[in-house]
Chains A and B, each alone.
Chain A
């Protein structure tokens, strides 16, 4: 039974949280990687745009809740999500029109786009603050657990409990659906292929009759969807604090780069790699070890790094991967 207990503890404290976090990072990294592949810069406003989309979704959620509309066991935020995506899409399209398009027409160096995205980051940050303030907000409702610790103990007879929060399951399910839809779109539809063509060779795409501005608009809309979904899932799973959304930029960038910037498969793999390493390195393994090796009395918690240093983990993974594979795990655009 001890092995089973160890397994359950591992699932409960490492696997499930890391899978949910990895899914959120993967969605975020997909957005970064798409913008990098097609608009050719790393969007520093990514985290703050995620926060904006989430803030809109939260406001709509509150509105729906006050009208007494709910989704039963599912969080109301799912119902509000389309509004959040639409608002974010409008915002990023507006930003593109007002800011980036000018530089695109000039064929300006990509670093200018990066600088502009810093300006956009400030504006989005301010907008989010205006909308919802800087405080922590919780907006999950519906059923909290799919598997509750006590039920699991009674059912299995194990000492260790297993909890699966509905937001965690929801995160993974939504991510799988979104990723499948995105890959279908990119590989099977004409518009998706046009996006890949534009990413490969901008001029030739144009010479094939692909309207570059349409590709760019499509990219922003998809990115807005990915950002808002990632932000809402992260907020449902943990909580919404605008500053956390700024900080999540580092693991998201790390995930995108580790996977190979510009490569969507890489972004997903990178997201999960970063998340699993982060959780595994900061988890105190003493409990799992106690089940596996009952006779061993380790001195400490068997925790490689304190949870405060989880950002260090994404950084170290990033460096290690780049040292051995400069183009990322999956060949990215940054060869």
Chain B
């Protein structure tokens, strides 16, 4: 099969050239208006910003997959739990919510966690399943007895506007770190169980925890209002309306030849972009440094020969758990950033196809194990994902043009936006088959 064998040693210009092509795509999107591009800098930058967040998510996945071969199928859950942080950290406190049931709620959660810990200890000491079951049952009853009234009280507090526990009113940027911590905690719990078993069951465990986290966010109204959504999440950047009312900004915009409304949108997006770029570069820097440190060498040693590493006394499971937690923390940061960018937490939008498996497409297309590859793959795939929604119908429109009007033509035109799912699947399959090392191969 040498015909499709990728050159192992690729040119050092490969990555810069690909990034330049990617940049050109965004410039085209910003400047040219035709059937393919919108010609709007606002659109272009909006795609780029979400692309950068995808890139950070992909970096997290790449850490887990690239460094340790862990197959995380619950990315959506870690993104979602990270997205909870801006709500709980940065939203202003809800009046009366804490008094209604805050302490009792915290206590119930502690009881719940304590029960699990106790059950674990009891099992370790006695190895009796029935004792453990009893502990769990008593703990569960106690938990529900504390939890249910607290939740009812909190949710009864002005349900039309709030009905949730509210935030702490802290700076939004802080919530990004907290989002990472949330995801790390969830990952630790999952990893501890799934990696500790005789063999890994991480794929199915993460698939499960992903569903559960999203289900919790959808249904626990006290937490983040569930499907009623949380809007008006504070921003780290100025609001468009503020800018528009600022005469200095209006002059500045005019100097560049933009209308003030358009310019304010672009300015805000540029601010976000700078923030995201800083986070992205810091994460890449840390990841690369970690990979070159003794810790990273050990990770690679484990990856290359797990048996040998184990024989040398390396605790493979513990290392895998570390990488899993770290990668999930990065995903959590991305989740918090995404919610900040949107200014809205809508749990129903967390779709595994879009937030788990599309991220996987990004990582594999970019190049498994290569951080820059993940960034490139993420931004590129995100661009294609968004544009395919436009290109698909245009393409179908041209193709079915000669057809007589009728049901079939209408059906084809109507379903054209779904073409992007097929396109993404084909992209993944093609890369797997013909360029498995991805766009920017691992060194």
Q: Do chains A and B touch in the complex (CB under 8 A)?
A: yes
Interface residues of A (CB under 8 A from B): 42, 44, 99, 102, 106, 111-112, 114-116, 118-127, 129-130, 133-134, 243, 246-247, 249-250, 253-254, 257, 300, 304, 306, 308-309, 311-312, 314-315, 318-319, 322-324, 326, 334
Does A123 lie within 8 Å of B425, measured CB to CB? yes
Query: 20 A-B residue contacts at CB 8 Å?
Result: A112-B436, A118-B428, A119-B361, A121-B357, A122-B421, A122-B424, A123-B425, A126-B425, A129-B418, A130-B418, A134-B418, A247-B211, A300-B148, A306-B219, A309-B212, A309-B216, A309-B219, A311-B215, A315-B209, A318-B201
For the complex formed, measure the closest distance between the CB of A48 and the CB atoms of chain B, giving whole angstroms: 9
Write the chain A residue with the least CB distance to B210.
A250
Does B425 lie within 8 Å of A311, measured CB to CB? no
Write the chain A residue with the least CB distance to B140.
A304
Cross-chain contact of A123 among B1, B208, B212, B422 (Cβ < 8 A)? B422
Does A122 lie within 8 Å of B425, measured CB to CB? yes
Contacts of B129 in A (CB 8 A): 324
For the complex formed, measure the closest distance between the CB of A173 and the CB atoms of chain B, giving whole angstroms: 30
Question: Which are the 6 A-B pairs with shortest beta-carbon distances?
Answer: A122-B425, A126-B421, A315-B208, A126-B422, A123-B425, A129-B418
Which residues of chain B from 119 to 157 have a CB within 8 Å of any chain A CB? 129, 140, 144, 148
B106 at the interface (CB under 8 A from A): no
Contacts of A122 in B (CB 8 A): 353, 357, 361, 421-422, 424-425, 428
Cross-chain contact of A102 among B194, B357, B428, B433 (Cβ < 8 A)? B433
How distant is the Cα of A1 from the Cα of B352 in the complex, in angstroms?
48
Write the chain A residue with the least CB distance to B358.
A122
Cross-chain contact of A111 among B71, B420, B423, B425 (Cβ < 8 A)? B71
For the complex formed, measure the closest distance between the CB of B78 and the CB atoms of chain A, giving whole angstroms: 15
Against A, the Cβ 8 Å flags (1 = close, 0 = not) of B194-210 are 10011101011101110
Extra inter-chain contacts (7) besides given A111-B69, A246-B353, A318-B205, CB under 8 Å: A115-B432, A119-B429, A125-B421, A126-B420, A130-B415, A309-B215, A309-B219
Contacts of A112 in B (CB 8 A): 432, 436
Interface size on B, residues (CB 8 A): 49
How distant is the Cα of A66 from the Cα of B64 in the complex, in angstroms?
53
Contacts of A134 in B (CB 8 A): 418
Contacts of B360 in A (CB 8 A): 115, 118
Does A312 lie within 8 Å of B424, measured CB to CB? no
Interface centre among A119, A247, A254 (most CB of B within 10 A): A119
Cross-chain contact of A319 among B198, B205, B421 (Cβ < 8 A)? B205
Does B425 lie within 8 Å of A254, measured CB to CB? no
For the complex formed, measure the closest distance between the CB of A132 and the CB atoms of chain B, giving whole angstroms: 9
Interface centre among B1, B73, B209 (most CB of A within 10 A): B73
For the complex formed, measure the closest distance between the CB of B136 and the CB atoms of chain A, giving whole angstroms: 10
How distant is the Cα of A102 from the Cα of B210 in the complex, in angstroms?
32
Contacts of A253 in B (CB 8 A): 204, 207
Does B205 lie within 8 Å of A126, measured CB to CB? no
Does A334 lie within 8 Å of B219, measured CB to CB? no
Write the chain B residue with the least CB distance to A307.
B219
Write the chain B residue with the least CB distance to A323.
B197
Contacts of A322 in B (CB 8 A): 197, 201
Against A, the Cβ 8 Å flags (1 = close, 0 = not) of B1-28 are 1000000000000000000000000000
Cross-chain contact of A127 among B203, B207, B212, B422 (Cβ < 8 A)? B422
For the complex formed, measure the closest distance between the CB of A126 and the CB atoms of chain B, giving whole angstroms: 3
Interface residues of B (CB under 8 A from A): 1, 69, 71, 73, 129, 140, 144, 148, 193-194, 197-199, 201, 203-205, 207-209, 211-212, 215-216, 218-219, 351-353, 357, 360-361, 364, 414-415, 418-426, 428-429, 432-433, 436
Contacts of B207 in A (CB 8 A): 249-250, 253
Write the chain A residue with the least CB distance to B416.
A130
- Judged by DSSP, the binding face of B is helix
Cross-chain contact of A114 among B71, B201, B211, B352 (Cβ < 8 A)? B71
How distant is the Cα of A44 from the Cα of B353 in the complex, in angstroms?
11
Cross-chain contact of A129 among B1, B198, B216, B421 (Cβ < 8 A)? B421
How distant is the Cα of A122 from the Cα of B429 in the complex, in angstroms?
10
Interface centre among A247, A312, A322 (most CB of B within 10 A): A322
Contacts of B433 in A (CB 8 A): 99, 102
Cross-chain contact of A318 among B208, B216, B428, B429 (Cβ < 8 A)? B208
How distant is the Cα of A99 from the Cα of B429 in the complex, in angstroms?
8
Contacts of B218 in A (CB 8 A): 308
Contacts of B209 in A (CB 8 A): 315
How distant is the Cα of A127 from the Cα of B425 in the complex, in angstroms?
11
Does B432 lie within 8 Å of A318, measured CB to CB? no
For the complex formed, measure the closest distance between the CB of B225 and the CB atoms of chain A, giving whole angstroms: 15
How distant is the Cα of A270 from the Cα of B362 in the complex, in angstroms?
34
Write the chain B residue with the least CB distance to A111.
B71
For the complex formed, measure the closest distance between the CB of B310 and the CB atoms of chain A, giving whole angstroms: 18
Cross-chain contact of B208 among A99, A114, A250 (Cβ < 8 A)? A250
Does A311 lie within 8 Å of B353, measured CB to CB? no
Does B208 lie within 8 Å of A311, measured CB to CB? yes
Does A119 lie within 8 Å of B432, measured CB to CB? yes
How distant is the Cα of A298 from the Cα of B215 in the complex, in angstroms?
27
Cross-chain contact of A311 among B212, B364, B420 (Cβ < 8 A)? B212
How distant is the Cα of A289 from the Cα of B71 in the complex, in angstroms?
44
For the complex formed, measure the closest distance between the CB of A241 and the CB atoms of chain B, giving whole angstroms: 13
For the complex formed, measure the closest distance between the CB of B393 and the CB atoms of chain A, giving whole angstroms: 13
Contacts of A42 in B (CB 8 A): 203-204
Write the chain B residue with the least CB distance to A114.
B71
Contacts A111-B71, A323-B197: A106 and B1 contacting too (C-beta < 8 A)? yes
How distant is the Cα of A322 from the Cα of B360 in the complex, in angstroms?
27
Interface centre among A99, A115, A243 (most CB of B within 10 A): A115
Contacts of A306 in B (CB 8 A): 219
Contacts of B351 in A (CB 8 A): 243
How distant is the Cα of A106 from the Cα of B436 in the complex, in angstroms?
14
Interface centre among A116, A122, A134 (most CB of B within 10 A): A122
Does B212 lie within 8 Å of A308, measured CB to CB? no
Contacts of A326 in B (CB 8 A): 197-199
For the complex formed, measure the closest distance between the CB of A196 and the CB atoms of chain B, giving whole angstroms: 23
Contacts of A121 in B (CB 8 A): 353, 357, 425
Contacts of A127 in B (CB 8 A): 422
Does B426 lie within 8 Å of A123, measured CB to CB? yes
Contacts A115-B364, A253-B204, A314-B208: A126 and B357 contacting too (C-beta < 8 A)? no
Contacts of B429 in A (CB 8 A): 99, 116, 119-120, 123
Contacts A116-B429, A119-B432, A246-B352: A312 and B212 contacting too (C-beta < 8 A)? yes
Does B421 lie within 8 Å of A312, measured CB to CB? no
Does A308 lie within 8 Å of B421, measured CB to CB? no
